Amino acid sequence: MKLFDYTGVIHLHSSFSFDGCAPLESILQAANKNSIDFLMLTDHDHLRAKKEGWEGWHDQTLLIVGQEISPRFNHYLAFKINTPLFYSKYDEVTPPQKYIDEVNAQGGFGIIAHPDHEGTKTFHVKHYHWNDWTVSGYSGMGIWDFMTDWQKSLSGYFKGFLSFLFPAWFLRGPRDLTLQRWDALNQQQKIFGIGELDNHASTKKFLGITFIAFSFERAFKFISTHVLTKEKLSGDGRKDKEAILQALLAGRAYFALEYFRKARGFAFFVEQGDALYQMGDEFTLGGGACLKVSLPAKALVRVIREGLLIQEERTSGFSRQVSEPGVYRVEVYLQSCGKLRPWIFSNPIFIR
DSSP state of 168: G
Query: What does CATH list as the number for 4-257?
Result: 3.20.20.140
Does residue 240 register a pLDDT over 80?
yes
What average pLDDT does the segment 276-300 reach?
Answer: 96
- pLDDT per residue as tens digits for the range 36-82: 999 999 999 999 999 999 999 999 999 999 999 999 999 999 999 99
What pLDDT, on the 0 to 100 scale, is given for residue 124? 59
Candidates 80, 88, 84, 78; CA nearest to 42 is: 78
> Could you tell me what percent of the chain has a pLDDT over 70?
96
Q: What is the pLDDT of residue 211?
A: 64
Residue ranges covered by each domain of the chain: 4-257, 267-351
pLDDT at residue number 123: 60
pLDDT of residue 208: 67
pLDDT score for 209: 64
pLDDT tens digit string along 94-137?
999 999 999 999 999 999 999 998 877 666 578 889 999 999 99
Query: What's the pLDDT score for residue 161?
Result: 81
| Residues 290-344: tens digit of each pLDDT | 999 999 999 999 999 999 999 999 999 999 999 999 999 999 999 988 899 999 9
Q: What does pTM read for this prediction? A: 0.95
- Mean pLDDT for 244-258 is 98
Mean predicted lDDT score pLDDT of the chain: 94
Mean pLDDT of 197-213: 75
**Mean pLDDT calculated for residue range 256-265:** 96
Which pLDDT band holds residue 205 (cuts at 50, 70, 90)?
A: low
Across the range 137-150, mean pLDDT stands at 95
Q: Can you tell me the distance from the alpha carbon of 313 to that of 56, in angstroms, rounded to the nearest whole number?
A: 42
CA dist., res. 298 & res. 221, Å (int) = 21
**pLDDT exceeds cutoff 90 at 160:** no
- The CA angle 158-161-163, to the nearest 5 degrees, is 110
The topology (CATH level 3) of 267-351 is Immunoglobulin-like (2.60.40)
pLDDT in tens, 212-225: 778 999 999 999 99
**Sign of the CA dihedral 237, 239, 245, 247?**
negative
Query: Tell me, what's the pLDDT at 214?
Result: 87
Please check whether residue 60 is in contact with residue 49, taking contact to mean a CB–CB distance below 8 angstroms: no
Predicted confidence band at 162 (pLDDT cuts at 50, 70, 90)?
Answer: confident
For residue 18, what are the CA distances in angstroms to 41, 73, 191, 239, 288? Answer: 14, 17, 30, 31, 55
Helices (H), the chain: 24-33, 48-51, 96-105, 146-152, 157-165, 176-186, 216-219, 237-250
* pLDDT score for 206: 62
- Which of 84 and 155 is assigned the larger pLDDT? 84
One fold for both 4-257 and 267-351?
no
